[in-house]
Every structure is written in C-alpha cells, then in structure tokens.
With several copies, the nearest count.
Chain A
Amino acid sequence: MVTIIPEIIRESITNLVKNGERSDGRAFYEYRGISLETGVIEKAEGSARVKIGNTQIMIGTKPQIGEPFPDTPNVGVLMTNSELLPMAAPDFEPGPPDERSVELSRVTDRCIREAGVVDLDKLVIIEGEKVWMIFLDLHVLDYDGNLIDAAVLGSIAALINTKIPETRIEDGEIIVDHEKMISLPVKEKALMTTFAKIGGELIVDPSLEEEQIMDARISIGIREDGSICAMQKGGANPLTKEEVIMAISKSQEITKELREHLPKN
C-alpha cells in the first residue's frame, strides 16, 4: 500500500531538523523511551517484549533438535523469522512475509550471526548429526518507526533469557533433560542503531513520521568492543561517505547506552 505524505508535513519536519529540532522534542541522537521485559511468555524457552516509543515487538525463542547444515556439521543453527503483523499498522497485510519483513529478519539475523552473539559451537549434541536449532521469532505488534533497533535489542534480550534443556548421550540415545535447564551460551551483545537522513542531517531512532519522509536510512551493528558487525542502508536517496563514517562513530557511543537496557546473563 502506498502511503502518501502531504508535502506540508514533509516540509515541516524537514525545516524543524534544519533548525536542530525534532517534532517530538528529542535531540538528534536521543532515543525515545525504551522498555524491555524478559521472560514474559512462559511457554517460550526465552522471550522479550521491547518497546521503543510506541513501537512494540514480542520476541520468543524455541529450541528444536535437528540436523546441522551439511557444510557446517559442528555448529548449531539459529533461525530468525519476523512477521509484520497486520495488527501493527493499517497498511500491513496478512500473508507471507513481504520484502520489508524479510529485510528486518535478515538484517537482525546477520547482526546476531556475524557478531557471534550465540556460541553455536556449544549447541552440538552429536557432531555432524544432531544439534540444537534455535528459532528466534519476531512478532511485530505495533509499528511506530525504527523496527530494526527494536528487533536487535529485543532479540539479544530474548537470547540471554533463553534456557534450553541439558542433553546427554546414554547408550547411543539422546537424553533431553527438561529438569536441568541451562542458559543459552550468549557471548557477545551486539546492538544496532539506525539513523535517518532528513534535511541533510542524521538523526537517530526515527519515528514513523520521520521514516515516512526521510531521504535515506543507515543501520549500524556494533559489537561490545566497538567494531562493526553489520550495516544496512535503506531508502531511495544516497548518503555521502562522511555521513556513513559519522553514523558509525555515533553508533559506537550510543550502543554503549543501549546495552544498559539488557538483562545480565
């Protein structure tokens, strides 16, 4: 569905930014209020409900025993899936994931995978034969802008919250012991920050209104040591090299603050 933004709104938001202001009063590098709860779904082995402003995602994890991929026989599997539920916005429609939903899950997945968030080596049950597959499902409940940062923040929290049953081999048989639940081995807490380019300026955590009129978008994934694990540009207008470098540098600062919201593991 095409959403037409009146030119007057575009101009008004752009002019504000040019004057160093945002329509909701935030500073350029200021996030909206963040709320993060974990363990909210008892039937999920791990879960988190994250809110950034009014944007709200419920995330749950489910472990399953399965076979490793043939080319990586000695590591477990992480599968990230997202649904932009029709409940979350008037223009989201039921049906198989569209390109926005696919991009969201793939960017989240890359950030987590490339940063080495989960120690997949420890998810092997029998080498080359049986491993834990962790399904990470993102259920987008309310869409008010900046899904990517919410998705990564909530996913890391849900993974930290995840407990899987201990397994052992007895007489060639796998024993899955639900009485001994162990934490998922999370060894890195990479996070992403997203910037919108409006009126030639970069602002962090764009609201829906800002997303609708932005020229471009850049999301940066930063590991705890400040290195870059993922990037994704979006939007139909270009960015300069300087803007990208500035976004990275700001991300390195901001992710430190964001990380404070995460539970301890």
Chain B
Amino acid sequence: MITIITNNELSTGIETSKRADGRAFDELRPIKIEAGVLKRADGSAYLELGGNKILVAVYGPRELHIRRLMQPNRAVLRCRYNMAPFSVDGRKRPGPDRRSVEISKITSEALSPAVFLEKFPRSTIDVFIEVLEAEGGTRCAGITAASVALADAGVPMRDIIVSCAAGKADGQVVLDLSETEDKEGEADMPIAIMPRTGEITLLQSDGHLTSEEFEKALDLAINGCKKISEEQKKAILSRYG
C-alpha cells in the first residue's frame, strides 16, 4: 500500500460568491498569445491561459501525399492535438488516444469554416497543436492558438476563429473553467465562433444544464470569445503591424 500526502494549494480557497481561484463568474484566466515563435514551421503561435501552455505550428498549404485523403476541389485541414508526457499530473503515455483523436477531429471542423480551403485543391494544411502544460480548457486554447498560427502562416481566412468554454461549477454558470472546476463542476461547454458573424463552429457539452443555464453559458462563452479575439488580434499585429 502506498499513501500519498498531497500539497493541494487550491483546496483551501473555496468561498461563497467568488470562484476557487478568486475570479468573477465572467472572468477569464490571464491570457498571453505570441505569434511566430518557431523557425521551421510556416506559421506558429504560443499561448498561455492560466496554467495552460500551448504551442501550435502550421505547415501548408502543401502537397498531400496520401491519395485517399485528397479532395479534388479543396484543401484538407488536418489537425493533430497532442499532449506532452510531462504536461499533466502523472505521466501521459506518448501517442494518440481516443480523447486526442476526437479533439483533433472537432478542432479541424472548428477551424475549417474560416479558411479559404477551396483556393488550394488537392493540398493539405497541417495544424500541429502541442499541449506543453494542461490546466483545463486545452482544446479551446488549442483552437485559439491555431487560428493565430494559421494567420502567421499567411493562410487566407474569412475570420480568426476563437474558442472558449463556459460551464457550471459550484451551482453557478461561469466562464472559462479551470481544471478543478472542470473536474468537480456540473457541466463544461466548449465553443468556437467566427467573431465577425458570431456563428458557432464548435459546440460540445458535457454535464447537466437546463435550457436556461445553457443559454446563459452560451452568452458567457460568446463574450469570452470576443475578449480573447482581441488578444489574438494584438498578437498578430505585434508580429506584422
């Protein structure tokens, strides 16, 4: 038998109105985005959101060698979401698992509506998302960073997709769930939108929400997206402006 004494810093901080980490219900975690951080990739971006550290590289549009994936009238947008072995408590075994396969798929669907894929028939645009450190909300952070990396690569786009989650924790509908809120909370709902039109390109939900809570969470998430969108623009501007 092995007994583990943990040193859980967050466990004492839970209070009434404020959230465990002291944020208001509609407050994002601190965010930082930087574009153009890698040499070899055609485009790249680095994002920190709370304890999340995400690095994204984009290659392409480039030739697609795998015939059965080729589209005669447009490019395919392939995404690979991957967690570093050291990114989580305990060690994540290298290689794809079912969770990362699903996230890769929905990430590709979330980003595709913004990209002028029809300009590059028979090609591929490859988006590699590496989670260097994970603290809740990595799929949204990955999509947000991927958009900046696509812009950095000069891929022609209709809009800069942005992603954020809302959900329910401690009985309260809140924005941008932390790892603890995600684990212990009642629901998590990641979305992605095209900020110009407000259209939704990603929507998942996990947990228990009434219709009213859902609408509240959706509005909260859309607002969160808009704030993050500003950070994306700053990152792109400070690289090219």
Q: Which residues of A contact B (CB under 8 A)?
A: 1-2, 4, 40-44, 47, 54, 56, 58, 60-62, 64-65, 81, 83, 85-90, 94, 96-97, 99-100, 102-103, 105-106, 110, 114-115, 135, 137, 139, 141-144, 165, 172-179, 218, 223, 226-241, 244-245, 248-249, 252
Contacts and interface: CB of A to CB of B under 8 A. Distances in A.
Contacts of A1: 68
Contacts of A106: 98-99, 102
Contacts of B226: none
Contacts of A248: 211, 214
B210 to A, nearest CB: 5
A99 B101 contact: yes
Contact of B7 (A88, A173, A179): A179
Contacts of B7: 178-179
Given A44-B133, A178-B4, 13 more contacts: A2-B68, A62-B91, A83-B94, A90-B40, A94-B80, A99-B104, A102-B105, A114-B208, A141-B130, A233-B203, A234-B109, A238-B194, A239-B203
B86 interface: yes
Which 9 A/B pairs are nearest by Cβ-Cβ distance? A60-B86, A238-B199, A87-B57, A54-B39, A231-B205, A44-B86, A87-B128, A62-B91, A233-B203
B2 A42 contact: no
B121 interface: no
B120 interface: no
Interface string B176-219: 00000000000101000110011111111111111100110010
B132 A139 contact: yes
A87 B130 contact: yes
Interface in B53-104: 53, 55-57, 59, 62, 68-72, 80, 82, 84-91, 94-96, 98-99, 101-102, 104
Contact of B55 (A42, A87, A143, A165): A87
B111 to A, nearest CB: 9
A87 B85 contact: no
Chain A's interface: helix, strand, loop or mixed, by majority? mixed
A102 B96 CA distance: 12
19 contacts: A83-B94, A85-B128, A87-B56, A89-B40, A94-B80, A96-B95, A99-B104, A102-B105, A135-B91, A139-B86, A139-B132, A142-B39, A172-B1, A173-B1, A226-B210, A227-B209, A230-B205, A237-B113, A241-B218
B117 to A, nearest CB: 8
A142 B72 CA distance: 28
Nearest to B219: A241
Contacts of B89: 43
A65 B1 CA distance: 12
Nearest to B209: A228
A33 B106 CA distance: 30
A4 B201 CA distance: 23
A98 B133 CA distance: 25
Given A114-B206, A233-B200, A239-B199, A86 B80 contact: yes
Contacts of A144: 39-40
Contacts of B222: 241
Contacts of A244: 200, 203, 218
Chain B interface size, under 10 / 10 to 19 / 20 to 34 / 35 or more: 35 or more
Nearest to A46: B86
A41 B211 contact: no
B218 A235 contact: no
A57 B148 CA distance: 22
Contact of A231 (B71, B98, B204): B204
A248 to B, nearest CB: 6
A137 B104 contact: no
Nearest to B100: A102
A4 B72 CA distance: 9
Contacts of B135: 43
A223 B80 CA distance: 33
A239 B70 CA distance: 26
Contacts of B205: 228, 230-232
Contact of B3 (A85, A142, A176): A176
B202 A233 contact: yes
Nearest to B91: A62
B155 interface: no
A219 B192 CA distance: 16
A2 to B, nearest CB: 6
Interface in B2-55: 2-7, 38-41, 44, 51, 53, 55
B223 interface: no
Contacts of B84: 41, 58, 60, 137, 139
